[in-house]
């Protein structure tokens, strides 16, 4: 059985499943049958935390996930997000209360549910005070449409402001060996406020799972525009990965298992949220909850891959402008 941790007041698997890459952000897509098979396998392997968003697939991801989880909906924590969506084929960040209410109602229909357990504001809208956005989500809690409110990719200061408006249950941001921005302030702020932390991309968008070749990224793969996957940074990052893979091999675990174990070891309030379309990778990720790795090995991994050794920023300048997180 997978180990559990508390998230939004419930005990769930410490490793969840991010569903974005079923049909969003990466070149390949899966159909409904493949998605249902993968999510069912995840549940059977002990995953009880599934995460989607209005943005993913411009609404189609929620439909796909909703259909897939129907047989076990009541046994899992279902999370989704608002505040960023597709409009006329383009991404839109909007935190206006009316838009958030409309997005939630669409999500409930798409997911085929009457209640979403954890609902995040996907991005901070710089044109709308965070208090207004959170106030709207608080109304949804009172209406019974959502169970708890979360935030995604925000700073400690924004979290504190939001928490004063309405209790925030969880904060989700990118966190892994190669992206440590949460360590500046957010991890401590979450701990102080009693907010659970969900680490998305704990495998660094696949970098920490297997040896990648950016030349093989298909059209539409978001990694193609990320500086860390482009030269001159990539050659140095690849050499770093090979050292990391050798470390994992020396203790008879996969690179992904070592990377997930490292994330989970950073605090009891931390959840890991990898995503995959690959059934073998799913199985490897789930087994990470059971591996026992010596503290000195985890420390060696952290010393090997961190903000000082990884080359290149995590986002392009345009993408970075959309997020509110602290930066080194």
Question: Tell me: the pLDDT tens digits for 21-62?
Answer: 999 999 889 999 999 999 999 999 999 999 999 999 999 999
What is the enclosing helix (H) or strand (E) of 85? strand 84-87
In the predicted structure, residue 98 carries a pLDDT above the cut 90: yes
Position 256 in a domain: yes
Give the pairing of strands 77-82 and 116-121: parallel
Residue-number span of the structural domain to which 34 is assigned: 4-320
The residue that leads in pLDDT, 88 or 146, is: 146
Per the structure, the count of domains in the chain is 1
**pTM of the prediction?**
0.97
Position 328 in a domain: no
Arithmetic mean of pLDDT, 168-185: 98
Position 42 in a domain: yes
pLDDT band at 319 (very low <50, low <70, confident <90, very high): confident
In the predicted structure, residue 249 carries a pLDDT above the cut 90: yes
What is the enclosing helix (H) or strand (E) of 78? strand 77-82
For residue range 179-215, what is the model confidence (pLDDT) as tens digits? 999 999 999 999 999 999 999 999 999 999 999 999 9
For residue range 225-247, what is the model confidence (pLDDT) as tens digits? 999 999 999 999 999 999 999 99
Chain-wide mean pLDDT for the chain? 97
Position 293 in a domain: yes
- Which candidate, 116, 110, 82, 108, places its Cα nearest to that of 96? 82
In the predicted structure, residue 321 carries a pLDDT above the cut 90: no
CATH number at residue 151: 3.20.20.100
- Which candidate, 2, 5, 3, places its Cα nearest to that of 270? 5
Position 1 scores a pLDDT of 78
- Which candidate, 13, 9, 17, 51, places its Cα nearest to that of 169? 9
CA 258 to chain centre: 18
Position 326 in a domain: no
For residue range 253-288, what is the model confidence (pLDDT) as tens digits? 999 999 999 999 999 999 999 999 999 999 999 999
In the predicted structure, residue 322 carries a pLDDT above the cut 90: no
Position 14 in a domain: yes
Position 327 in a domain: no
Q: Give Cβ neighbours of residue 295 (< 8 Å, ≥ 6 apart).
A: 265
| Tokens, residue 135 | 């106030």
Q: Percentage of residues in the chain with pLDDT exceeding 70?
A: 100
Residues found in the chain: 328
pLDDT band at 318 (very low <50, low <70, confident <90, very high): confident
Q: Is the dihedral of CA 179, 172, 206, 21 positive or negative?
A: negative
**Residues known to be catalytic:** 56
Position 286 in a domain: yes
């Amino acid at each position: 059985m997978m180990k559990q941790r508390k998230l939004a007041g419930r005990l769930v698997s410490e490793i969840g499943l991010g569903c974005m890459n079923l049909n969003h952000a990466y070149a390949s897509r899966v159909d409904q049958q493949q998605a249902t098979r993968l999510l069912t396998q995840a549940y059977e392997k002990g995953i009880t935390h599934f995460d989607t968003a209005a943005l993913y697939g411009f609404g189609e991801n929620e439909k796909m996930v909703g259909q897939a989880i129907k047989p076990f909906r009541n046994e899992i924590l279902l999370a989704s997000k608002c505040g960023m969506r597709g409009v006329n084929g383009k991404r839109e960040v909007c935190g206006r209360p009316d838009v958030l209410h409309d997005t939630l109602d669409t999500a409930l229909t798409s997911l085929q549910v009457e209640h979403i357990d954890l609902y995040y504001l996907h991005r901070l809208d710089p044109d709308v005070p965070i208090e207004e956005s959170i106030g709207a989500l608080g109304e949804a809690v009172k209406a019974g449409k959502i169970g708890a409110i979360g935030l995604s990719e925000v700073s400690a200061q924004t979290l504190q402001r939001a928490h004063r408006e309405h209790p925030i249950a969880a904060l989700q941001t990118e966190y892994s060996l190669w992206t440590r921005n949460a360590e500046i302030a957010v991890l401590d702020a979450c701990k102080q406020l009693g907010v659970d932390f969900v680490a998305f991309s704990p495998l660094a968008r696949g970098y920490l799972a297997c040896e990648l070749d950016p030349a093989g990224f298909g059209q539409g793969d978001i990694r193609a525009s990320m500086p860390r996957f482009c030269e001159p940074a990539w050659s140095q990052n690849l050499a770093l990965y090979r050292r990391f893979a050798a470390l994992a091999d020396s203790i008879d675990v996969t690179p992904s298992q070592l990377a997930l174990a490292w994330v989970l070891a950073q605090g009891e309030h931390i959840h890991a949220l990898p995503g995959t379309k690959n059934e073998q990778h799913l199985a490897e990720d789930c087994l990470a909850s059971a591996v026992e790795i010596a503290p000195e090995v985890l420390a060696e991994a952290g010393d090997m891959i961190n903000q000082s050794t990884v080359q290149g920023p995590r986002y392009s300048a345009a993408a970075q402008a959309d997020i509110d997180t602290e930066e080194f």
